[in-house]
């Protein structure tokens, strides 16, 4: 099938590679030419704008940083809705505010375009393996129709409810990941300060109740002093901002989220916004003057 794909960053590139591997023709666009060139080398076809992608493809996937980017790419000048027609499908896989998904979906409906929100979890390694977890909101019939396309990129695709439900699920995911990295940083700082080798602590506890996918992924990065993203601090700030705003709108209470949000903001102010979110450990290191290694 011919598919459109807009947003060829850390996640978008490997996701397109997996669609190509599954036998799809993929028409791509990104504002960064280097990202386009990289994926054209792998067999994708370049288009000159988001509108042009939508003109050529009946199903378009977007993988962009945040709500304003998706609004601009879908509803803006030279955007998807200028090139799309009645019955076309938009799969937005970016992590954005659930309210923004609902707003963009209303604009899509005005042109007869059906939209689902389908953000992902798992990060770059799982995007490369084609095993990301996909959480979906929108019309269930559309979810069923595109299920095989989603599964060409993911290890699971779960229908969560109406439009925006995918992104609400993703916000829950992002709270758990951020708080887990902070908990791991705090615990390993304790062991380092107390003179117990962090690698021994990791080996001893990873199989117990404290073990987690987050700890398995991030402790080797922290102790190996590798903070190359991965998932950038600035993107996690974006997610927790969306979580706090959405939480306040619906009457939730998120005290731990706001604490970790300020740790991320502290790192951003220190010029570390483009580092991996495992750099939350550096917040603890700065305060204690001690490296976890
Ligand atoms: P990224 O910053 O690496 O990539 C975003 C891409 O979008 C860039 O190539 C950028 O040039 C492109 N873009 C921005 N504005 C555009 C426009 N107007 N038109 C066309 N292209 C445009 O980000 P990423 O890490 O790939 O993340 C993408 C989304 O996936 C984000 O919402 C992020 O929160 C989410 N996500 C990321 C990870 C991860 O580990 N990186 C994991 C799960 C979910």
In a structure prediction context, what are the per-residue pLDDT tens digits for the chain, which is 293 residues long? 999 999 999 999 999 999 999 999 999 999 999 999 999 999 999 999 999 999 999 999 999 999 999 999 999 999 999 999 999 999 999 999 999 999 999 999 999 999 999 999 998 999 999 999 999 999 999 999 999 999 999 999 999 999 999 999 999 999 999 999 999 999 999 999 999 999 999 999 999 999 999 999 999 999 999 999 999 999 999 999 999 999 999 999 999 999 999 999 999 999 999 999 999 999 999 999 999 98
Ligand 1 center–CA 201 separation, angstroms: 34
Q: Is the CB of 10 under 6 A from ligand 1?
A: yes
- Counting every residue written for the chain, the total comes to 293
Closest atom of ligand 1 relative to the 72 alpha carbon: 18
138 — alpha (psi -120 to 50), left (phi > 0) or beta? Answer: left
Q: Is the CB of 98 under 6 A from ligand 1?
A: no
Ligand 1 center–CA 100 separation, angstroms: 16
pLDDT computed for residue 57 by the predictor: 98
Name the residue with the closest Cα to ligand 1, atom 9.
9
Q: Is the CB of 217 under 6 A from ligand 1?
A: no
Q: Is there a contact between 42 and 20 (Cβ–Cβ < 8 Å)?
A: yes
pLDDT computed for residue 147 by the predictor: 98
Catalytic residues: 170
| Residue located via tokens 């060139």 | 37
Pick from 5, 6, 12 the residue to mutate for probing ligand 1's pocket: most ligand atoms within 8 Å of its CB: 12
Ligand 1 center–CA 288 separation, angstroms: 33
Q: Is the CB of 64 under 6 A from ligand 1?
A: yes
pTM score, two decimals? Answer: 0.95
How many whole angstroms from its chain centre is CA 222? 21
Ligand 1 center–CA 15 separation, angstroms: 12
Structure tokens at 191: 């062991």
Closest atom of ligand 1 relative to the 95 alpha carbon: 32
Q: What are phi and psi of 156, to 5 degrees?
A: -155, 150
Q: Taking Cα atoms as reference points, which of 41, 43, 10, 38 lies closest to residue 26?
A: 43
Q: Is the CB of 120 under 6 A from ligand 1?
A: yes
Ligand 1 center–CA 235 separation, angstroms: 9
Closest atom of ligand 1 relative to the 230 alpha carbon: 40
Q: Is the CB of 12 under 6 A from ligand 1?
A: yes
Q: Is the CB of 65 under 6 A from ligand 1?
A: yes
């Amino acid at each position: 099938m011919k598919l459109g794909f807009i947003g060829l960053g850390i996640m978008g590139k490997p996701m397109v590679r997996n669609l190509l591997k599954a036998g799809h023709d993929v028409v791509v666009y990104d504002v960064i030419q280097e990202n386009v060139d990289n994926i054209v080398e792998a067999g994708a076809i370049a288009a000159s704008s988001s509108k042009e992608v939508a003109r050529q493809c009946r199903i378009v996937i977007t993988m962009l940083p945040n709500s304003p980017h998706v609004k601009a790419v879908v509803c803006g000048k030279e955007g998807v809705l200028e090139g799309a027609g009645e019955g076309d499908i938009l799969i937005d896989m970016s992590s954005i505010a659930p309210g923004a998904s609902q707003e963009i979906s209303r604009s899509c409906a005005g042109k007869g375009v059906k939209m689902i929100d389908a953000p992902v979890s798992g990060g770059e390694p799982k995007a490369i393996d084609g095993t990301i977890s996909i959480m979906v909101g929108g019309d269930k019939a559309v979810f069923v129709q595109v299920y095989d396309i989603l599964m060409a990129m993911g290890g699971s695709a779960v229908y969560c409810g109406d439009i925006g439900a995918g992104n609400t699920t993703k916000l829950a995911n992002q709270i758990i990941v951020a708080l887990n990295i902070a908990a791991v940083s705090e615990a390993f700082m304790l062991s380092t300060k107390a003179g117990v080798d962090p690698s021994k602590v990791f080996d001893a506890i990873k199989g117990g109740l404290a073990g987690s996918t987050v700890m398995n992924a991030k402790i080797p990065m922290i102790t190996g002093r590798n903070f190359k993203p991965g998932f950038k601090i600035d993107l996690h700030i974006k997610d927790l901002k969306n979580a706090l705003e959405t939480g306040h709108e619906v009457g939730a209470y998120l005290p731990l989220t706001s604490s970790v949000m300020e740790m991320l903001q502290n790192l951003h102010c220190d010029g570390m916004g483009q580092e991996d979110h495992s750099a939350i450990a550096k917040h603890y290191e700065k305060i204690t003057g001690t490296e976890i290694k």
